[in-house]
Amino acid sequence: MADITIRAVRKSYGKTATLHGIDLAFASGEFVVILGPSGCGKSTLLRMIAGLEDITGGEIEINGRVVNKLEPRERGCAMVFQNYALYPHMTVADNIGYALKVAGVPKAERRARIAETAKIVGLGDYLERKPAALSGGQRQRVAMARAIIREPGVFLFDEPLSNLDATLRVTMRAEIRKLHQRLSATSVFVTHDQVEAMTLADKLVVMNKGHVEQVGQPLDIYHRPASTFVASFIGAPPMNLMDARIDASATVARHEHLAIPISSAMAAALAGRDVTLGIRPEECRVVPAGEGLPARVDFVEELGSGRIVHAAFGSRIFAAAIPLDIRVASGDLIGLALPPAQLHVFDRETGRRLDVTHSIGRYEPVRQAAEAV
Amino acid sequence: MIQRTPYADAFTYVLMALGFLLLLGPFAVIVAGASQTVQQVNAVPFNFLPQNQLIVNITAAWQRADLGTAMLNSFIMASIVTFGKVALSALTAFSIVFFRTPLKHFFFWIVFITLMLPLEVRVVPTYAVAADLFEPIRLLIAWVTGITVSIEWNLLNSYAGLTLPLVATATGTFLYRQFFMTLPDELAEAARMDGSGPVRFFIDMLIPLSRTNMLALTTIMFVYGWNQYLWPLLMITDPAYKTTMMSLVALLPAENGTPDWNVTLAGSLIIMLPPLLVVAVLQRWFVRGLVSSEK
Amino acid sequence: MDKRAVFRSWWLPTAFALPQLALIALFFYWPAVAVVRWAFTLEPPFGGSAEFVGLANFRDVFADPLYWNSVVVSLTFALAGTLSTIFIGLVLALAVDRQLPGSGAVRFLYILPYAIAGPAAGMAFRFILSPERGLMASVNSAFPDFWNPAKYGSHALILVIVVFAWKWAGYTFIFLLAGLQSVPKSLTEAAAMDGSGPVRRAIDIQIPMLAPTLFFLTVIMMTEGFVGADTYGIVARTTDGGPNHGTDVMVYRIVEEAFRGLNYSGASAQSIVLIGLIMIFTFIQFRFVERRVHYK
């Protein structure tokens, strides 16, 4: 059990900065997922917590102790690497027990703990094998066992599932979650896969270009993305976004020649402003041509449980998730209905979310991620 | 690929046979000559079939060139060079590859430049250094303190003098470096997360993982050490330290004496044998070492 | 050098590298400095302090026709040696790479001459290609004086080149075979589909793909021919630089000058010139090093 506080942490390699002042706090026992595209700095942040990268500026605190200057072994963290990093010349048992051997734990106790840990991850029968003789999933388990055996306060996962095939990834995802509940340590899990992020996280951190874009519970982030980046990064297919200008007199937002109906509160609060409007595909409704906004079907993706219509809407392609009972084909003229209550509004300049406070009838930017901590 | 190319196949076999004659033929001549009598070996035309005098000739050669001492010395020399290279280069490569320090670039270049100048071009001053090992140190002391001290230590006629200058080059270091670079970064990081320091990592991970590399380097260095010619020739004047390459001269038939080339050939056969065996038996490692030691 | 170095310490790597660095400093850098120092000074052979003479040693060296003779001999030796080793290695590698039955065995055997020390090989070849006995005696009895390396410098030069080629052909063979095996099979298969036979494929596909290896071997063999450990040994034990300086390669001359002539300054000046040559080779090799294939 350990809590982690990250204060104004920066990282630069020579003159190029990769992290620009990160502030985050993880509570003890939380499962934190850091999500972002490759190159956003998420792995660097994780490696700085682990002690594998120097901290250029700011402080990292684990359990109330500033660890900036501590060696990895002194921080009470264990890490699972993307490529597992098993020691190829050692057996599974030696791999799992290496940390204890280094720490000078007597042989008998070591053997007992290895056996116990191997049982937790279901490797009991493989202790004498070399890593080369294991499957991808088994190697993953060895890597986890190697972390578990140290009984660390913090588990660090660096994209641990990305080398596994799709089926195994789902299984291992569930196992990691179960393990987390059982061990009640703090887990920090880095990934670029939004499904992993949504399913695993107690707390989700979305990063982009060395900044934290948003911190919150996964569903909150899904429903109230704090920026156009988060809106387009989370959700598949991603949120439809379009530039528009709010026209107060007609309570519409004008996008090219189209007039999109909006709520009167929004019209009043944002009159005359240039904004970016967003709507999730599953909130778009397809209606007969002539109703709603005119669109032409470009192509249709069948998902089995439903279908996704990609339709030309103004000069852009919109995605709309529709139930199976609506049939459309390429080239059809259809109408798109965008319920005003489901529209997300972002500042055109900054890309930050503009939120309504209904009582006053004004739109305000949501609090910055850093303040939300 | 299923393709019938009878002419090309026949041609290929002709080429391979020619290569065989060209590269292995000399061995046949040596073996044949080494097993013949003086009359047979000087006969024209030459008889390529081995005869029954091999043991006799070897015994004669062994005595004439004192091969017992020479073989032992060559073996000691090759072993020290091999061991020194295998051990020291591993240490240096480790410190060049796995540490975050500005010194590593310095070390790298210091070692790298040694690839450019083989012993043969700097042999004269190297000899002078070996003859007076403490000269640089004396000069340094004199320069720093102004005191002229007279400590001297010469390496002529010693195993240290035979081997140390040969250990002072970069081949082995680059072989290890090459291998270390192929190890994933996460391996060292995982070890570090497991609480292992650099020395522990070196002993627990790098040494066991480098086993095949060490074997490759061992084969190359043994052959290299055994086959040294010029350096022992300069360093050694005391017959007790002479190596096989130096006994070659003694094996030659005396000018205007009996042209007993059979004994000469028998002697050189013995001298060629150890590196030949190493390469033949450990060929897999030898080839691997050669191909990957060239940076 | 782009590996993510993991450990932080300055004294540990220093301590680990120290043994080798000390040896290198003592037996490499110190002598290298001495070569330069001697090249510009005149040291009396029997003690006394050295006198700075500027470029006089170089002037003496360049004024000596025997020096220029050794340059020409070295150049001939290195060029002929390089071309013949690479040619033999290439032909054999192309043949073995076809993987006909039996190629595994010859492949093993071709490497063996490389294990033999240059001087030992040289001495054996003195017999094998001797004009009075062995192979060439029969030829000589038919065509008198056709082959006599003890008498003619050019014959002696051919003899040492043969020894060099014999020893090093197996070496180029290893690299060229490794290079050939790294040419994707799909490439030669595509050429076969296009209807080209084995010889055409070798010329059109395989040899062009080997260009980096060939280039690398040219540099290595030229360096070896000029200053290689075996070059000295081969010349010394096969012909002793003779007859009449016909095989007096640069390395041989330097050592002779220093240890028989006791002319350290002249030998050092010659070393400097040779070092300059090697640096040019090394530079060329570096310049094109990124074009090299991986020998795996």
**DSSP structure string for A120-146:** HTT-GGGTTS-GGGS-HHHHHHHHHHH
User: Within an 8 Å CB–CB cutoff, is residue B115 touching chain C?
Assistant: yes
**CA nearest B200 in A: which residue?**
A102
Q: pLDDT tens-digit profile of C84-139?
A: 999 999 999 989 988 888 888 888 899 999 999 888 998 888 888 888 876 787 78
Chains with 3+ CB–CB pairs under 8 A to C are: B
* ipTM, two decimals: 0.85
List of chain A residues whose C-beta atoms are within 8 Å of the C-beta of residue B196: 98, 102
Q: Tell me, yes or no, whether A246 and A143 share the same domain.
A: no
With a cut of 50, say whether residue B17 has pLDDT above it.
Answer: yes
Separation of alpha carbons C62 and C241, rounded Å: 20
Q: Tell me, yes or no, whether A194 and A246 share the same domain.
A: no
With a cut of 80, say whether residue A372 has pLDDT above it.
Answer: no
Q: Tell me, yes or no, whether A201 and A255 share the same domain.
A: no
**CA nearest C91 in B: which residue?**
B15
Q: pLDDT tens-digit profile of C184-208?
A: 878 877 877 877 777 788 888 888 8
- What CATH number has the domain spanning B6-293? 1.10.3720.10
* Domain boundaries of chain B, sorted by first residue: 6-293
Burial of B185 (0-12, 13-18, 19+ CB in 10 A): middle
In this predicted structure, what is the pLDDT of residue C2?
52
Q: Which of C30, C32, C216 sits opposite B117 (nearest CB)?
A: C32
Q: Tell me, yes or no, whether A198 and A175 share the same domain.
A: yes
User: Within an 8 Å CB–CB cutoff, is residue A67 touching chain B?
Assistant: no
Separation of alpha carbons A76 and B80, rounded Å: 45
Q: Tell me, yes or no, whether A198 and A156 share the same domain.
A: yes
User: Within an 8 Å CB–CB cutoff, is residue B190 touching chain A?
Assistant: yes
In a domain, C211, yes or no: yes
Among the residues of C202-263, which ranges form H helices?
207-209, 211-227, 229-238, 250-259
In A, residues 70-89, which contact B (CB 8 Å cutoff)?
71-73, 77-79, 81-89
Question: What percentage of chain C's residues is helix, strand, coil (to nearest 5)?
Answer: 75, 0, 25
User: Within an 8 Å CB–CB cutoff, is residue B203 touching chain A?
Assistant: no
In this predicted structure, what is the pLDDT of residue A373?
39
Tokens of A203: 């707390």
Higher pLDDT, C221 or B152: C221
Q: Do A78 and B193 touch (CB under 8 A)?
A: yes
Is the peptide bond preceding residue B45 cis, with omega within 30 degrees of 0?
yes
Tokens of B99: 């540490």
Q: Do C20 and B197 touch (CB under 8 A)?
A: no
In a domain, C11, yes or no: no
- Helix (H) or strand (E) run with residue A276 in it: strand A274-279
Tokens of C205: 């596909």
List of chain B residues whose C-beta atoms are within 8 Å of the C-beta of residue A81: 186, 189-190
Q: Tell me, yes or no, whether A225 and A201 share the same domain.
A: yes
In a domain, C214, yes or no: yes
Tokens of A68: 């900036």
- Say which CATH number the domain at A76 has: 3.40.50.300
Q: pLDDT tens-digit profile of C259-296?
A: 877 777 888 888 888 888 877 877 776 666 544 433 32
In this predicted structure, what is the pLDDT of residue A357?
53
**How many domains does chain C contain in total?**
1
- Say which CATH number the domain at A297 has: 2.40.50.140
- Paired sense of beta strands A211-216 and A258-261, if any: unpaired
Distance (Å) of CA C146 to CA B253, C136, C137, C246: 24, 9, 10, 17
User: Within an 8 Å CB–CB cutoff, is residue A151 touching chain B?
Assistant: no
The residue segments making up the domain with residue C67 are: 31-291
Q: Tell me, yes or no, whether A279 and A147 share the same domain.
A: no
With a cut of 60, say whether residue A216 has pLDDT above it.
Answer: yes
Separation of alpha carbons A130 and A127, rounded Å: 8
Tokens of A111: 């053997």
Q: How many angstroms from the chain centroid is the CA of residue A160?
A: 14
pLDDT band for position A363 (50/70/90)?
A: low
Q: Measured over all CA atoms, what is the biggest interatomic distance in chain B, rounded to whole angstroms?
A: 83
Burial of B246 (0-12, 13-18, 19+ CB in 10 A): buried
For residue A340, the 8-state DSSP code is G
Mutate to test the interface with B, among A83, A144, A151, A159 (most CBs of B within 10 A): A83
User: Within an 8 Å CB–CB cutoff, is residue B196 touching chain A?
Assistant: yes
To the nearest whole angstrom, how far is the Cα of C252 from the nearest Cα of chain B? 9
Q: Which of B186, B192, B204 sits opposite A83 (nearest CB)?
A: B186
The residue segments making up the domain with residue A35 are: 4-229
**Distance in angstroms between the alpha carbons of the first and the last residue of chain B:** 34
pTM, 2 dp: 0.83
Residue in the block written with tokens 């690929």: B1
CA torsion sign for C235, C239, C240, C243 is: negative
- Helix (H) or strand (E) run with residue B173 in it: helix B171-182
- Say which CATH number the domain at C208 has: 1.10.3720.10
Contact C88, C162 (CB under 8 A): no
To the nearest whole angstrom, how far is the Cα of A108 from the nearest Cα of chain B? 19
Q: Tell me, yes or no, whether A19 and A144 share the same domain.
A: yes
Q: Tell me, yes or no, whether A135 and A218 share the same domain.
A: yes
With a cut of 90, say whether residue C216 has pLDDT above it.
Answer: no
To the nearest whole angstrom, how far is the Cα of C42 from the nearest Cα of chain B? 14
Q: Tell me, yes or no, whether A84 and A66 share the same domain.
A: yes
**How many domains does chain A contain in total?**
2
Q: Which of B187, B195, B196 sits opposite A85 (nearest CB)?
A: B187
To the nearest whole angstrom, how far is the Cα of B293 from the nearest Cα of chain A? 23
Q: Tell me, yes or no, whether A224 and A99 share the same domain.
A: yes
Number of H helices, E strands in chain B: 17, 0
Amino acid identity of B202? Answer: F
Separation of alpha carbons C78 and B260, rounded Å: 33
- Domain final residue, candidates A229, A251, A273: A229
Q: What is the CA radius of gyration of chain A?
A: 25
With a cut of 80, say whether residue C144 has pLDDT above it.
Answer: no
pLDDT band for position A95 (50/70/90)?
A: very high
Angle, CA A137 vertex, CA A134 and CA A142 arms, to 5°? 70
User: Within an 8 Å CB–CB cutoff, is residue B142 touching chain C?
Assistant: no
In this predicted structure, what is the pLDDT of residue C293?
38
With a cut of 50, say whether residue B290 has pLDDT above it.
Answer: yes
Tokens of A12: 């630069």
Q: Which of A321-325, B49-53, B113-117 has the lowest mean pLDDT?
A: B113-117
User: Within an 8 Å CB–CB cutoff, is residue A98 touching chain B?
Assistant: yes
To the nearest whole angstrom, how far is the Cα of C113 from the nearest Cα of chain B? 7
Contact C161, C81 (CB under 8 A): yes
Q: Do C28 and B114 touch (CB under 8 A)?
A: yes
In this predicted structure, what is the pLDDT of residue B143?
78
Q: Which of C27, C95, C197 sits opposite B165 (nearest CB)?
A: C27
pLDDT band for position A166 (50/70/90)?
A: confident
